[in-house]
Amino acid sequence: MNSQLLIEKIQKRESQIGVVGLGYVGLPLVLRLLESGFRVVGIDVDSSKISKLKSAQTYIKHIPAAKLSEALATNRWTPTSDMAQASQCDGIVICVPTPLNPHREPDISYIIDTMDALKPHLRAGQVISLESTTYPGTTEEELRPRIESRGLKIGKDIFLVFSPEREDPGNRKFSTKTIPKVVGGSTSECLKVGVELYGSIIEKVVPVSSTRAAEMTKLLENIYRAVNIGLVNELKIVADKMGVDIWEVIDAAATKPFGYTPFYPGPGLGGHCIPIDPFYLTWKAREYGIHTKFIELAGEINRSMPEWVSAKVSEALNQHQKSVKGSKVLVLGISYKKNIDDFRESPSVEILAYLKSKGAEIAYADPYVPVFTGTPEHSFDLKAVGLTPELVQSMDCVVLATDHDEFDYEMILRNSRLIVDSRGRFRSASEKVVRS
């Protein structure tokens, strides 16, 4: 099948699209494809997710069950763990995780395993899109050879693109539909098909010259944020030593109408992008004899922030003639950013672990994470506590780690003995509040 025939199928909504990986990226994409009139196969190796989806049970808090019920009611959506279903799809979009290994090196095993599982089911007339964040060259070096091993010619029989995900869970200003989509193709024909696929569901598509350019674009976006957050986190420490309010300084600097974009400090970086993605470029750059000092320094600063906040808790308790050991400490927010339920790489977890190791009696409140059983690095068995005046009054210290909008900050301030604020939410002067 040539590219024009596939493009016409996409335009007429006669094509079926498969989405592999139904997490924070893949599931919103499924819903957007359905809204646009496509038939969709949602594939995930986690059978528990498939069971929930088939009964319209959500496992991502900002995606309500009602949305899943509407999706099922279209009769155009098939959730499955059967990779063979991909053979029935004209487009296959891969949205699987790309973590770091224990040595902080890229782990693209999810991509490779997914591609190997898909390989027997590939056929002519398909477009394959990788959305997982990865180092420049992954699409050409890892996916292309596997596809070609099936005897399929890229750009003629089958079309290969890279289009980095740009989901921002919890952000009500933007949706899958309204966030511009970067697309790079292995060939010019691949690019044409990729642009048509994404242009049918997203308001603005941004074509680039190659898959490598698209892969690099995503890394630049996240490195930009990581480096600037690292900068303000370092300045936060300097300002603290000087007795200067860093949030006041940032707000004042933000009044400059040119040449400045405000970034805000916090307890560290979390999530599956900003703390991880920069190291994909750092690792790949070594292949070219380049040591990315700037990126690595920002990473070191951001990784040190949970320890800084924990030290501020210890210092604040000491000022109240208390030690960390035996003190009751409530951590507000365990997800990595406000208004979502994702606690991957969350600095809140590091703060909890540190305080626990020092003998504190820890508790956490988070309306998005009712139960926390821990991470591969830290073992916990905690349930979120209800945030009441009586509970807050019983705590020796309250640590604001994630500033969910649902928290009643006036109540917390009124009833706390001591607050360590890592998010700058308690802006009014109070002897109770320690900035961190």
* Active site residue ranges: 273
Sign of CA dihedral 172, 178, 182, 185: positive
SS3 state at 246:
helix
CA 389, CA 404: separation in Å to the nearest integer? Answer: 17
SS3 state at 294:
helix
Phi first, then psi: give them for residue 338, nearest 5 degrees: -70, 150
**Alpha carbon separation from 275 to 39, 50, 137, 270, 402 (Å, rounded):** 35, 29, 21, 6, 16
CA 25, CA 19: separation in Å to the nearest integer? Answer: 10
The string of DSSP letters for 121-161 reads G--TTEEEEE-S---TTHIIIIIHHHHHTTTPPBTTTEEEE
Start-to-end C-alpha separation, the chain: 60
Q: CA triplet 119, 124, 127: central angle to 5 degrees? A: 75
Question: Quick one: which of 162, 94, 80, 164 has its CA closest to 122?
Answer: 94
User: What is the Cα Rg of the chain in Å?
Assistant: 24
Label residue 115 exposed, middle or buried (CB < 10 Å: 0-12, 13-18, 19+). Answer: buried
CA 103, CA 402: separation in Å to the nearest integer? Answer: 27
Q: CA triplet 162, 165, 167: central angle to 5 degrees? A: 170
